[in-house]
A and B are shown apart, each in its own frame.
Chain A
């Protein structure tokens, strides 16, 4: 008996294993025809590959009609098996090399293969053959058709707030090495964006050529109605081409291709820039007809669940309503479902806390928003919780829908009366509201009642003009003391400066002496003292000896200092006149002496103005 049981399990295992293998290998069968290029010259050769996907156990596909081409050789058979994330894919390829015999637009006909009674046909492939051109010395590659980008949306017309998928695709011919991809996303003003999954990579056949496709997808939610434009997207990348280097004798050992590869000397980078066309989407406003009262802008396809954790409570005890709205759409903006109350005083409602969870981001944005709403029954007559109502607009059917969750039965017993005034710290939110009144140690700290510091603190001291004025006084004192000290030091150390500063004072004293001499009526002595006063003044001013203060010398110095020509002339003639009168017996009358004294005073005053 045990032996049979053992065999039974073995057979079961074998069946399950082969069933699994069958499941793993069960793929869609298809036949594709691809070419390595679809524009070529008469000198080029075309590589045609017929690939059977999904099985390797078939007869070779029929060779298609190749009007305008001659078969050079083939088929070269290649077999491929890929296992990616446990998913097995197989394919078998038949590659032919064709030589164009005529120019123009040629078509390679469909190929046919039969497998398990079914017939699979490949689509025809169009190829353009042009005249042979002389090859330039440094051919510049043309990658217009080899690399291109597309921007598209899954729909051209959408409702306000309806989820729309924006897809950016980069196509590059299989095997083209590109690097440094830099993508500039389009501007989606008036849309709210949500990224959809990671970038996708797959292969796609277009015009018989296999392209690698990189796809970036974004969910867009239009926020305003009207014709909205999505601007162009840009892509920069570098195409890395290895070019053969001309072999030179001097290259010697380092001309080896190993070093070329290692140091990247043979790689050339072609910067590629591609721009998509902008897209316009017509966004329709939500219809007014049939709009429910509790509709607050949720658009999508949603469902709702509602539950409570406790069904037996006392009056004033919190009941936490857990309401989960889930589905496709803009989960973030789902509004709180409405509770339908028969009497507003039946329940005390608290604001709901919500948690948003996006569960799927692959095809579309799917997720759930869970609302935790606390309600407190206010009397013992209540037997049911309020019904929960959620309204949204379903863009698939173009209508508003309302989901209603029926009331849940509850039992409410009599409880303590709650004091509505806030007493203490609510550490755990609303759920602990009932215990707060008893935890007096956690109450707020008391009032400040001290009157002595009660003064107006709003008047900023820095605004007070008195303070600002007081701040200026020490600065003025410091600056003044600085200049006084400087002045005193210079008087002591700089003789020229000291003589210059004292010249006027000394001159005034000398003129006073001359005036006293004038009263004695001794002309020679008067003119002598007057001449000395003028000579000393000018000597002090120019920091020279009194003996050097001759009429000519003074005239030159005055001119050098830029004194007015007339004044220079006046001073010179005055000094000459004084010298004459000093040594002349004709001293002159009293009036002339008075005039000389006044002239000296005036000249000194004028010079003081011009020399200072």
Chain B
């Protein structure tokens, strides 16, 4: 009886906050619109069992969509993908964050042709599963599909190799590393105080340096990942203007999937800068590009057209 009650609690109670009863998957399909509006303001905790159920269900819908694509039923596939995306979003909106979910959501949005949203979710997934090769491959693929072939925001490979721990470990892994080093350091200090072995001092200095590096790296990572200073354009076409308002002149256009750095926010507008490719000229006879360079351009974008990572 108690098992039955727990099942009800796990499956129903968390979703009652969202106005969604998922006891029947068919019900979920029919209330897609309601859920979309509701998931904007949820913050209830969701149980792991409920997450697994939604997760597997969404995965199943994604696979069904893939089959429909193969059968050239684009309409049915689009519907399935929409439902899968909604279920992933539901999990995330309930405060349950996981790299796999972001990754799968990124895949789903890519299938739907929403490159900007796909990139946002891949970037978020990378915060949790930074060493995942599939994720890197998909992100690269989606980036190459965007219309603005802008200079990537990726950190240079040399930097990634030198500060490998910063890029290979997520926040929790770095925290665990710091705790581990701290524990070892404390044990060594204890033995130094009690036993007074002078050779322990050199080991302690080494561990202290290691701990310092890991703690500083962790601090920087938290600052970088929690700050809303990077965004991705999610609108099909986006006008970058000289100032925060429609009355300002159009400066240039960027498109779905373009990544930008957010500098400021004002009256529903983001001040951003992007790396864009500038073609220097066109060969008059052949029409081929003579030379291309990259430059940084700034301007103001409507906030609703950009999703912060």
Which of A192, A417, A461, A477 touches B186 (beta carbons < 8 Å)?
Answer: A477
- A356–B179 Cα distance when bound, in Å, is 55
Q: Please determine whether B98 and A426 come into contact, CB atoms closer than 8 angstroms.
A: no
> Can you list 26 contacts pairing A with B, beta carbon distance less than 8 Å?
A335-B250, A351-B147, A351-B253, A357-B281, A357-B282, A423-B69, A423-B111, A425-B141, A444-B110, A444-B137, A444-B141, A447-B62, A447-B104, A451-B55, A453-B98, A453-B100, A454-B101, A458-B96, A462-B175, A471-B179, A474-B182, A474-B187, A477-B186, A478-B189, A481-B193, A481-B194
A508 at the interface (CB under 8 A from B): no
Query: In the bound complex, do residue B111 and residue A471 qualify as a contact, i.e. CB atoms below 8 Å apart?
Result: no
Docked-complex contact B255 and A351, CB < 8 angstroms: yes
Partner of A351, one of B218, B236, B250: B236
Question: B176–A456 contact, CB under 8 A?
Answer: no
Interface-centre pick from A332, A421, A449 (highest chain B CB count, 10 A) = A421
CB proximity of A270 to chain B, nearest CB, Å = 42
Residues of B within 8 A of A419 (CB): 69, 72, 74
Residues of chain A from 425 to 473 with CB closer than 8 A to chain B in the complex? 425-427, 429, 442, 444-451, 453-458, 460-462, 467, 471
Q: Is A182 an interface residue (CB 8 A)?
A: no
Question: 1/0 contact trace for A335-368 toward B, CB 8 Å?
Answer: 1000000000000000101011100000000000
Q: Which B residues are in CB contact (< 8 Å) with A223?
A: 242, 248-249
Q: In the bound complex, what is the Cα–Cα distance between A576 and B103 (angstroms)?
A: 91
The bracket for how many chain B residues form the interface is 35 or more
Interface string of B109-132 (1 = CB under 8 A from A): 011110000000000000010000
The minimal Cβ–Cβ distance linking B248 to chain A, given in whole angstroms, is: 8
Q: Is A485 an interface residue (CB 8 A)?
A: yes
Q: Please report whether the interface of chain B is mostly helix, strand, loop or mixed according to DSSP.
A: helix
Query: How far in angstroms is the closest Cβ of chain B from A599?
Result: 44
Determine if A456 and B97 form an interchain contact, defined as CB atoms under 8 angstroms apart: yes
Within 8 A of A (CB), among B59-107: 59, 62-63, 69, 72, 74, 77-78, 81, 95-101, 103-104, 107
Is the beta-carbon distance between A421 and B128 smaller than 8 angstroms?
A: no
Within the assembled complex, what's the spacing in Å between the Cα atoms of A420 and B76? Answer: 12
For the complex of A and B, the 5 pairs showing the least CB-CB separation, nearest first, are A458-B97, A474-B186, A445-B134, A448-B100, A355-B279
CB A67 to nearest CB in B, in angstroms, measures 61
**Closest approach, in angstroms, between the C-beta of B250 and any C-beta of chain A?**
6
Given A351-B237, A421-B74, A444-B110, check contact A457 B98 (CB 8 Å). Answer: yes
CB–CB A322/B194 < 8 A = no
Which one of B182, B237, B249 contacts A161 once the chains associate, using CB atoms below 8 Å? B249
B113–A420 CB distance below 8 A = yes
Q: How far is the CA of A429 from the CA of B145 in the complex (A)?
A: 7
Contact yes or no, A455 B137, CB < 8 A: no
Give complex CA distance A471, B51 in Å. Answer: 32
Distance A451 CA – B53 CA, assembled complex (angstroms): 10
CA distance A426 to B55 in the complex (A): 29
What separation, in Å, do the CA atoms of A297 and B252 have in the docked complex?
A: 13
Tell me, yes or no, whether B190 is within 8 Å of chain A by CB: yes
A370 within 8 A of B: yes
B138 CB-CB contact with A under 8 Å: yes
Given contacts A454-B51, A456-B95, A457-B98, contact A421 B77 (CB under 8 A): yes
B34 interface residue per 8 A CB criterion: no
How large, as a class, is the contact surface on chain A? 35 or more
Chain A positions near chain B (C-beta within 8 angstroms): 161, 192, 223, 296-297, 322, 332-333, 335, 351, 353, 355-357, 370, 417, 419-423, 425-427, 429, 442, 444-451, 453-458, 460-462, 467, 471, 474-475, 477-478, 481-482, 485
Contact B280 A461 (CB under 8 A): no
Partner of A296, one of B236, B237, B242, B250: B250
Which of B52, B81, B107 is in CB contact (< 8 Å) with A454? B52
B172→A457 contact, CB < 8 A: yes
Additional A-B contact list (14), CB under 8 Å, known A161-B249, A455-B98, A457-B170: A351-B253, A356-B278, A357-B282, A417-B72, A422-B113, A423-B111, A425-B145, A444-B107, A448-B134, A454-B98, A456-B95, A460-B172, A460-B175, A481-B190
| A474 to chain B: closest residue by CB | B186
Partner of A461, one of B55, B107, B147, B172: B172
Closest-CB distance, A471 to chain B (whole angstroms): 6
CA distance A332 to B240 in the complex (A): 13
Q: Given the complex, which residues of B lie within 8 Å of A447, measured CB to CB?
A: 59, 62-63, 103-104, 107
Is A457 touching B99 in the complex (CB atoms < 8 A)?
A: yes
Instruction: Give the distance in Å from the alpha carbon of A351 to the alpha carbon of B238 in the complex.
Output: 11
CB distance from B176 to the nearest CB of A (A): 7
Task: Note all chain A residues with C-beta closer than 8 A to B176.
Answer: 461
Task: State in angstroms the CA–CA spacing of A417 and B78 once bound together.
Answer: 17
Complex formed: what's the CA distance from A426 to B62 in Å? Answer: 21
A421 to B77, CA, bound (A): 8
Residue of chain A at shortest CB distance from B98:
A457
Complex formed: what's the CA distance from A225 to B110 in Å?
44
Contact across chains for A357 and B113 when beta carbons are under 8 A apart: no
Is B251 in contact with chain A by the CB < 8 A criterion?
yes
Given the interface pairs A335-B250, A444-B141, A462-B222, the reply to whether A421 lies near B100 with Cβ below 8 Å is: no
Q: How distant is the Cα of A444 from the Cα of B136 in the complex, in angstroms?
A: 11
A254 CB, min distance to chain B CBs, angstroms = 55
The CA-CA distance from A406 to B21 in the complex, in Å, is 58
Instruction: Report how far A410 CA is from B100 CA in the complex, Å.
Output: 49
Contacts A419-B69, A444-B141, A462-B175; is A451 near B52 (CB within 8 Å)? yes
Q: How far is the CA of A161 from the CA of B48 in the complex (A)?
A: 59
A436 and B111 alpha carbons, distance in the complex (Å) = 13
Which of A322, A446, A477 contacts B190, CB < 8 Å? A477
With A445-B138, A449-B59, A456-B98 as known contacts, state yes or no: A333 contacts B113, CB within 8 Å: no
Q: Which residues does chain B contribute within 8 Å of A353, judged by CB atoms? A: 147
Enumerate chain A residues within 8 angstroms of B229, measured Cβ to Cβ: none
Min CB gap A178→B, angstroms = 35
Q: Which residue of A lies closest to B128 (CB)?
A: A457
B193 touches which of A332, A429, A451, A482 (Cβ 8 Å): A482
Q: Which residues from B are CB-within-8-Å of A471? A: 179, 182
Report the separation of the CA atoms of residues A482 and B145 in the bound assembly, to the nearest whole angstrom: 62
- Give chain A residues whose Cβ lies under 8 Å from the Cβ of B236: 351
Contact, CB under 8 Å: A458 / B193: no
**Is the beta-carbon distance between A355 and B282 smaller than 8 angstroms?**
yes
In the complex, what residues of B have CB within 8 A of residue A426's CB?
144-145
Rounded to whole Å, the gap between the CB of A283 and the closest CB of chain B is 13
Contacts of A467 in B (CB 8 A): 175, 179
In Å, the complex CA distance between A165 and B176 comes to 63
Q: What residue of chain B has the Cβ atom nearest to residue A324's Cβ?
A: B282
Q: How far is the CA of A333 from the CA of B239 in the complex (A)?
A: 11
Contact B69 A444 (CB under 8 A): no
Q: Cα distance A50–B52 when bound, in Å? A: 99
Residues of B within 8 A of A429 (CB): 147
Contact A425 B147 (CB under 8 A): no
With contacts A422-B113, A456-B97 taken as known, whether A448 is within 8 angstroms of B104 at the C-beta atoms is yes
- Quote the shortest CB–CB distance from A460 to chain B (angstroms): 6
Given contacts A355-B282, A454-B48, A462-B175, contact A421 B113 (CB under 8 A): yes
Q: Does B268 contact A (CB under 8 A)?
A: no
Alpha-carbon distance A481/B142, docked complex (angstroms)? 57
Contacts of A322 in B (CB 8 A): 287
